[in-house]
């Protein structure tokens, strides 16, 4: 591991411990979206001058220009707090949106939306999921539609579980057009976007919540189209390939921090005449958690190497997403179990992580859907072998 | 199954659907302990006249006098809502405390504490768990102590995670005395009991929360002793034998209700061209949940038969508690997964159940501790076989 | 538990320990089907005079006439050795075949086939499974067919994995006829039945192996039809309802015996300064095994009560089969793991059980197919709830 | 991936398909150790001239001199058949013994034992495990002892489960000496080594079986000592660091081949109206298997990078061994399940793999012991963090 990276990691660990994690105590009990927004903005003020801002983006966008095989270690480190990715501007969904805009947007769009995003001045969301009978696990069920007449697109859409929508400045939205699926870029203050509600959910730390939105006959121009009409699903995939992996990195940080609390607890408590850390049932839970973290890291590392070489990682990202999302939930669950009643309390963030991490097995493609895709690719290859 | 029982079940199902479950909508988002108290009291007013009050307690205490092999079915049914057991007065910890007082308390104690409890006029708590280095998983680490001098007991204790303490009228408390462990009965309004805090936790539906209490040099008399000094652990076990099983019954109701929502969802939603209910990955989760429910029911049923015959069920209750607590968590987790983003939302109670049920693998003896006990008993029997 | 049953259980335990289990030592290493046949016949000579013969069959058939809630305990006990069910004539597939003949066969068929079976003079098999594209997990793919012309049925069939076929005196065979599926009774020495091969398999203890059979244009009469033409699948289900449960009983005996060896081993061996039985990772495996045995027993017990009351147990038998077949494999696997290298050796029967029990998750309906059926029934009931 | 390596992989795949795998058909049913020996020797004749011999050993020893990050791919490929590693001389225990001799042996020992081993002229074994109360999971329980008097070591030892002992030319043996644990090199034809028995076991493909050996007062000289007296455990660890990983590589090949059979089967069979490969329960098993293979590969790859950089991999090798040994068993088990009765038969090698792979969770350190070690290292690091 090169020495620059080691220094960056140490610097980020220090930043997390001194700037980010101390703010968590403000989030015990009931808190609202405004609170997250305030703290996010204060942390970003620190993050911007930290030398850790946007580690994976090119220097011309204000990032550190690290390759993924290095950057992923910083993503994991920042992931140790729900607030960490906010602080250095690598949180979902902005991080994926920035990537997509960087690759596909035209200069005007970059100037208008990408640059404020990389500077952390605005937030964005990605409007894809729809209430039934629309697109959920199966994107082909897309109902949102935009019809072009006389050079004007007219967009009708109902979307829900749109993460970050409350308070976002811009949304990317996927809709059916005659050319296929198309992505539009729309300012969220458009008068015909109605934020119907922030859906109350199990998790509470997503800036801007998970929202239900109506797009009620918006009139859009070609300038609002991202890339080319009809390429919406391709672009969504361009976004998802790294975005699925960065989710894994951030959540792995959460799992590792939970495990650290459990280890500290087990070292300090005794029952039945010896320390919990000397009891095999605890050791087993600790060992299984370390094994899963090691497997998660090496899967991510391998996929990052592929990303850096410009290879497609769709299959590897699917496999990693399924494994890591389940590992993270198990590791948090074991950590909580080791800590007993203390784990259930909000005296440590583990009980909060228990709620926050659960949706990860559903968002970004339910694990069942990923398993279908993984198997289909495997069977395609097997069929080729047999012919 | 006898026809009276079938009628009672139908009546309770109706009571749940018309009186209890409609009240749940008041508990979305943030709510407090006062809210629970108000609704509890209103529901008990209905429950008292429902003919379903205290199904397992003898008629002379105002119950229905059902044997456990019948009563358990009503406990499961009431368990379908977090509010159900409150409504017919079979919620923890009162239910276990009533049982213990019924078996051990003297007439004066019964008059003072048991009768108001069975009438639902007061609530109670059981002060056992202590902050480190006190009694948690290992009851032998008990630090609370009561010293008798000149006929007066002086009690010093620190307790935490005492469920139901806020708003309780009376606590049973376990303390070391020269005779061994002893249980005292103390009014919660005693000036030397300090409720330090209601501990913020993952779960929110426990009436009276989970509290931290200081007992600061209380002076008690022999009248405050439950049963005989030194028999505290025996009494705790008398309480726990059925209490562990009733926990299983109530939580099984929660799991069954979660599964019903998941089934309804899977019947109504489609993806990839067919209904979720026709997709094998969903079928597998549904089947595994039904299998675990069937296993849970038959284990409970078997143990209930033993209780009715006056047999000790310590071993069976331990095995059932471990199995059911893990099954319940898995069933809720699968139900939530099947429901996707909808499962994560608070539009259905499944996401709330996900939080509420988690502590069950820790409370009433962490599952790891039960596994140790189960194995030790097995090895004792094995050692006898080999000699 | 009634005292007669306790006495019978003790008697069977003694019979197993003194007559049956000592014969196992003859089966280490490589042995063949003839060896099984010889030992079976010698053990049946003992079994017939043991007072334990056919505990579940009516007295007029030479059985003990016990209800299932009693008989199942003897099935489990006999199951502790692969040779036990042979010894008292309750082994598959004869046991299921006797049940079906008892319920459906006419007097002549009973005289010819059922009576020699109950006396243990002959063995039988049930020819259902077919090579692709025939009936396997999906019975509706049945290819075997019998066409009636001029009062004579002509049967063409290819069957495989027919357990017990080598050495059997009679086979029941399922074939398509114009009326639907029909079962025929045919002597195995019929010149047009060709035993193509005894299929080499993972398991070795099934008397008569698992065989591939060709039925090459046999001419049959109405006297060879079991019950009524077209009712074949109904009869198969009549056979399977209890047969699935008796499989569970016998294999549970195998699991319990494995666990006993593991317990004995753990009590006698030490590592890292203490006995294996005092080490929590071992305790956990032991506890999980006991929990699964308890769950298995209570599921079986519940289903037996239903059988005794004449209720259909199809759903319960499916759930029990899936649970018990997976539990049995896990319990054997854990027992082997606890015993380390000794578990891998043939010095104890656990390594043999590891092979013998594996097919149970496939035979009698692959667990995946049972899960589909369980879910479908659950969804049917859910759909009724929602209308 | 460099082009040379790709060519080597293709060449090895071809070698496996044309030379090695066709020989497997000779091993159906019952076969003995002699048969393995004959085929091994014939395959090695092919392997020696294949250009694939000993890919990981330096060229001066007749190997290909590949770094581990390349060589591991060839180990996996060779592992696809139980006979593959024999054919190119990378099978256990020789492979680990060669590594150890290469690092520690003196020139005379290398000439006498290492060179014939690398040429495939002889086989070796490693005598470590002892019957109780000797060294098993806990090496500190070592009972074998060698006492030096007048320049002559006198060795007394009882060993069992010594893989490969039958037919081996030399054994390395671990014994207690006054300096600590010491390894001796002894010709197996020494008159005071008694091969008591080849232990009958679940697995059958280990050349030379698993044997019980008595070392009955052998007189040895300093020339028979490997390296320095007292460093036996260090040397054992030098051997195990890569040896644990190469076990993982070889067994991963077995798992991948099982999966290929299951995929081929699922593509060719139908039930309930569609191909197994289109059924989600099958897809789930296939996907989980691919995920575990991907995780296994990346863990191995990461550890190989460390080995190539000369870093210690003890912790990583432990974690990888636990994960891969359990993954391999699960993948084989799922493959067998997908194939139904066909999977149980010996028509495909999957049922054989089911037996062969089981001991891997026990050998080379039972997974429970690895978990203890992993947890202890984790707690050591956690304790440092907290101080």
Cβ of C284 under 8 Å from any chain B Cβ? Answer: yes
Q: Which of B28, B129, B368 sits opposite A281 (nearest CB)?
A: B368
Partner residue facing A340 (CB), from B136, B141, B202? B136
Four-residue CA torsion sign, D132, D134, D139, D144: negative
Tens digits of residue pLDDT in A235-290? 999 999 899 999 999 999 999 999 999 999 999 999 999 999 999 999 999 999 99
B vs C: CB pairs below 8 A: 124
> Does the CB of B31 have a partner CB in chain C at under 8 Å?
no
Q: Is some CB atom of chain B closer than 8 A to the CB atom of D279?
A: yes
Whether the model pTM is above 0.90: yes
Q: Residue C351 and residue D28: Cβ atoms within 8 Å?
A: no
Q: How far apart are CA C26 and CA C295, in angstroms?
A: 34
Q: Do A266 and D379 touch (CB under 8 A)?
A: yes
Beta-strand runs (E) in D112-192: 124-127, 145-149, 152-163, 170-177, 180-187
CB of B130 closer than 8 Å to CB of B143: yes
Span A34-60, average pLDDT: 96
Closest partner CB to C366 (pick from D133, D340, D372): D340
Number of H helices, E strands in chain C: 12, 9
Give the gap in angstroms from C-alpha C290 to the nearest C-alpha of chain A: 17
Residue A45 Cα, gap to closest chain B Cα (Å): 31
User: Is 80 exceeded by the pLDDT of residue D280?
Assistant: yes
* Domains of chain C from N-terminus onward: 3-118 (1.10.540.10), 124-230 (2.40.110.10), 233-380 (1.20.140.10)
Q: A103-107 long-range CB contacts below 8 Å, 24 or more apart?
A: A103/A238, A104/A226, A104/A227, A104/A235, A104/A238, A105/A185, A105/A226, A105/A227
CA angle D159, D165, D169 (to 5 degrees): 125
Average pLDDT of every residue of chain B: 96
Name chain D contacts of B279, Cβ cutoff 8 Å.
280
CA distance C4 to D255: 52
Sign of the CA dihedral with D333 first, then D337, D340, and D341 last: positive
D324 and A324 Cβ atoms separated by less than 8 Å: no
Residues D174-231: tens digit of each pLDDT: 999 999 999 999 999 999 999 999 999 999 999 999 999 999 999 999 999 999 999 9
Whether residues C284 and B323 touch (CB distance < 8 A) is answered with no
A217 vs B: CB within 8 A: no
pLDDT in tens, D232-241: 999 999 999 8
Give residue A28's pLDDT. Answer: 81
The pairs formed by B42-49 with CB atoms below 8 angstroms and a separation of 24 or more are B43/B19, B43/B83, B43/B86, B43/B87, B44/B86, B44/B87, B44/B89, B44/B120, B46/B15, B46/B19, B46/B87, B47/B15, B47/B86, B47/B87, B47/B88, B47/B89, B47/B120, B48/B119, B48/B120
pLDDT tens profile D308-348: 999 999 999 999 999 999 999 999 999 999 999 999 999 99
Q: Is C372 within 8 Å of B302 when comparing Cβ atoms?
A: no
Is residue D3 very low, low, confident or very high in pLDDT (cuts 50, 70, 90)?
confident
The beta-carbon neighbor of C354 closest among D29, D30, D202 is D202
Give the residue from D298, D322, D325 with the most A CB atoms within 10 Å of its CB, the best one to mutate. D298
Residues 110-139 of B with CB under 8 A from A: 129, 132-133, 136-138
Q: What is the pLDDT of residue D176?
A: 97
Rounded to 5, what percent of chain B is helix, strand, coil?
Answer: 55, 15, 25
Q: Is some CB atom of chain B closer than 8 A to the CB atom of C266? A: yes
pLDDT of residue D1: 58
ipTM over 0.90 threshold? yes
Q: Which chains touch D (3 or more CB pairs under 8 A)?
A: A, B, C
| Interval C199-247: pLDDT, tens | 999 999 999 999 999 999 999 999 999 999 999 999 999 999 899 999 9
pLDDT over threshold 70, residue C350: yes
Sign, CA torsion B289/B294/B297/B299: negative
Interface contact B359-A344, CB threshold 8 A: yes
pLDDT confidence tier of residue B1, bands split at 50, 70 and 90: low
Can you tell me whether residue A78 is helix, strand or coil?
helix
Residues of A within 8 A of D280 (CB-CB) are 368, 372
Query: What DSSP state is assigned to residue D345?
Result: B
Q: Return the SS3 of A61.
A: helix
A279 has a chain C CB within 8 A of its CB: yes
Q: Could you give the 3-state DSSP secondary structure of residue A194?
A: strand
Please state, in angstroms and rounded to a whole number, the distance separating the CA atoms of residues B378 and C330. 18
DSSP character at residue B59: G
Is A284 close to C281, i.e. CB distance below 8 A?
Answer: yes
Instruction: List the single residue in D with minimal CA-CA distance to B284.
Output: D281
Is some CB atom of chain A closer than 8 A to the CB atom of D301?
yes
CA–CA separation, A193 and A125 (whole Å): 13
Residue D171 Rama label (left phi>0; alpha psi -120 to 50; beta) = beta
Each residue of D97-123: pLDDT tens digit?
999 999 999 999 999 999 999 999 999
B279 touches chain D (CB under 8 A): yes
Residue A278 in contact with partner chain B when CB distance is under 8 A: no
CB contact (8 A) between residue B341 and residue A210: yes
Give contacts of A279 with chain C, Cβ < 8 Å.
280
> Cβ–Cβ of C200/D270 closer than 8 Å?
no
Flag whether residue A337 sits within 8 Å of chain C, measured between CB atoms.
no
Chain C hits for D128, CB-CB cut-off 8 Å, are none
CB-CB under 8 Å, C161 with D341: yes
CA distances from C14 to A89, B320, C17, C55 (A): 74, 31, 5, 16
Q: Is C284's CB within 8 Å of A281's CB?
A: yes
Residues 6+ apart with CB under 8 A from B118: B54, B57, B61, B62, B63, B89, B98
Check CB contact under 8 Å for B379 and C295.
no
Residue C373 near chain A (CB below 8 Å): no
- Whole-number pLDDT of residue B320: 98
> Which residues in chain D have their CB less than 8 angstroms from residue B280's CB?
279-281, 284
- Does B30 sit within 8 Å of A337, measured CB to CB? no
Is there a contact between C165 and C195 (Cβ–Cβ < 8 Å)?
yes
Which of B84, B158, B160, B86 minimizes the C-alpha distance to B123? B86
* Residue position matching structure tokens 């939302």: B345
Q: What DSSP string runs through C163-227? A: ET-TT-SEEEEEEEETTEEEEEEEETT-TTEEEEEE--BS---STT-EEEEEEEEEEE-GGGB-S
Tokens of A285: 């839970």
Chain D residue numbers with beta carbons less than 8 Å from the beta carbon of A288 are 371
Using the Cβ of A376 and the Cβ atoms of chain D, whether some distance falls under 8 Å is answered with: yes
The DSSP annotation for C250-315 comes to HHHHHHHHHHHHHHHHHHH-EETTEEGGGSHHHHHHHHHHHHHHHHHHHHHHHHHHHHHTT---HH
Residues 139..158 of B with a Cβ closer than 8 Å to A: which? 140-141
Task: Give percent above pLDDT 70 in chain D.
Answer: 100
Nearest CA in chain A to D277: A379
Question: For residue D201, which residues of chain C lie inside 8 Å, CB to CB?
Answer: 344-346, 351
CB contact under 8 A, D358 and C341: no
**CA-closest candidate to residue D356, choices C355, C31, C135, C192:** C355
Window 157-216 of A: residues touching B by CB (8 A cutoff) are: 160-161, 199-203, 210
- Between chains, do C295 and B382 touch, taking CB under 8 Å as contact? no
Count of B-D CB contacts under 8 Å? 13
Residue B385 pLDDT > 90: no
Please confirm whether the linkage preceding D133 is cis (ω < 30° from 0): yes
Name the percent of chain C lying above pLDDT 90.
96
Q: For residue D137, what pLDDT is reported? A: 85
Cβ within 8 Å, pair A281-C279? no
C260-302: per-residue pLDDT in tens?
999 999 999 999 999 999 999 999 999 999 999 999 999 999 9
Q: Note whether B269 contacts A132, CB cutoff 8 Å.
A: yes
On chain B, the residues whose CB falls within 8 A of the CB of C371 are 283-284, 287-288
Residue B270 with chain A: CB contacts under 8 Å:
133
- CA nearest to C384 within chain B: B264
C374 in reach of chain B (CB within 8 A): yes
């Amino acid at each position: 591991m090169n020495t620059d990276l080691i220094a960056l990691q140490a610097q980020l660990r220090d930043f997390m411990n001194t700037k980010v994690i101390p703010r968590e105590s403000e989030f015990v009990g009931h808190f609202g979206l405004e609170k997250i927004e305030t703290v996010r903005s204060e942390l970003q003020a620190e993050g911007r001058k930290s030398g850790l801002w946007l580690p994976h983006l090119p220097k011309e966008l204000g990032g550190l220009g690290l390759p993924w095989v290095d950057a992923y270690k910083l993503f994991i480190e920042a992931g140790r707090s729900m607030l960490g990715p906010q602080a250095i501007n690598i949180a979902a969904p902005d991080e994926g949106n920035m990537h997509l805009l960087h690759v596909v947007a035209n200069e005007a769009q970059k100037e208008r939306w990408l640059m404020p995003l990389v500077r952390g001045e605005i937030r964005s969301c990605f409007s894809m999921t729809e209430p039934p009978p629309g697109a959920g696990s199966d994107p082909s069920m897309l109902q949102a539609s935009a019809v072009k007449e006389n050079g004007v697109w007219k967009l009708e859409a109902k979307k829900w579980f749109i993460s970050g929508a409350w308070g976002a400045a811009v949304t990317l939205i996927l809709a059916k057009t005659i050319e296929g699926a198309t992505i539009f870029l729309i300012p969220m203050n458009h008068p015909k976007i109605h934020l119907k509600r922030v859906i109350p959910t199990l998790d509470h730390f997503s800036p801007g919540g998970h929202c239900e939105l109506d797009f009620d006959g918006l009139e859009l121009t070609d300038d609002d189209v991202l890339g080319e009409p009809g390429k919406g699903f391709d672009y969504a995939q361009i976004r998802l390939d790294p975005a699925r992996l960065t989710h894994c990195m951030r959540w792995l940080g959460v799992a590792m921090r939970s495990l650290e609390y459990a280890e500290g607890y087990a070292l300090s408590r005794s029952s039945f005449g010896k320390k919990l850390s000397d009891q095999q049932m605890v050791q087993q839970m600790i060992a299984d958690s370390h094994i899963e973290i090691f497997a998660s890291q090496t899967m991510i590392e391998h996929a990052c190497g592929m990303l850096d070489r410009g290879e497609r990682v769709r299959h590897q990202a699917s496999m990693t997403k399924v494994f890591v999302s389940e590992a993270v939930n198990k590791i948090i669950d074991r950590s909580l179990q080791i800590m007993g009643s203390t784990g259930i309390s909000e005296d440590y963030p583990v009980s909060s992580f228990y709620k926050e991490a659960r949706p990860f097995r559903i968002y970004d493609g339910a694990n069942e859907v990923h398993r279908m895709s993984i198997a289909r690719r495997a069977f395609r290859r097997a069929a080729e072998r047999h012919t």
